[in-house]
Amino acid sequence: SQELEQSPQSLIVQEGKNLTINCTSSKTLYGLYWYKQKYGEGLIFLMMLQKGGEEKSHEKITAKLDEKKQQSSLHITASQPSHAGIYLCGADGIQGAQKLVFGQGTRLTINP
């Protein structure tokens, strides 16, 4: 079965700094999703990547899927307190199955 490994598991950065979260898959990714979760709440959809080399941005958050479609990175530029939370990557385990598997999450803390 497909497994997703996120790194780092937790991250503390100073407000205004840039940061990167990685998500590595044991198998080819057919669809890679990034979600954000505020503490104790549900998941908010950020972006979906499907094609090798694809890159998407939303405000100060950019996500990329590598050419081999086995690794994705999430980059935040000039971090703000509103970026704090848990970031999770999820992937379709089998193409077309629409059954997501998730990484264990990265807990991001922004210090003022």
Residue ranges binding another protein (CB under 8 A): 1, 31, 33, 35, 40-45, 48, 50, 88, 90, 98-105
93: left (phi over 0), alpha (psi -120 to 50) or beta: alpha
Residue 45 or 67 with smaller CB distance to another protein: 45
Proportion of the chain in helix, strand, coil states, percent, rounded to 5: 5, 55, 45
Residue 97 or 112 with smaller CB distance to another protein: 97
Residue 46 or 110 with smaller CB distance to another protein: 46
For residue 28, CA distances in Å to 36, 48, 84, 93 come to: 23, 15, 29, 9
CA–CA gap between residue 86 and residue 107 (Å, rounded) = 4
Q: How many CA atoms lie within 13 A of 48 on its CB side?
A: 8
Shortest distance (Å) from residue 75 CB to another protein: 20
Shortest distance (Å) from residue 33 CB to another protein: 7
Shortest distance (Å) from residue 80 CB to another protein: 23
Residue 45 or 80 with smaller CB distance to another protein: 45
- Amino acid in position 45: F
Shortest distance (Å) from residue 6 CB to another protein: 8
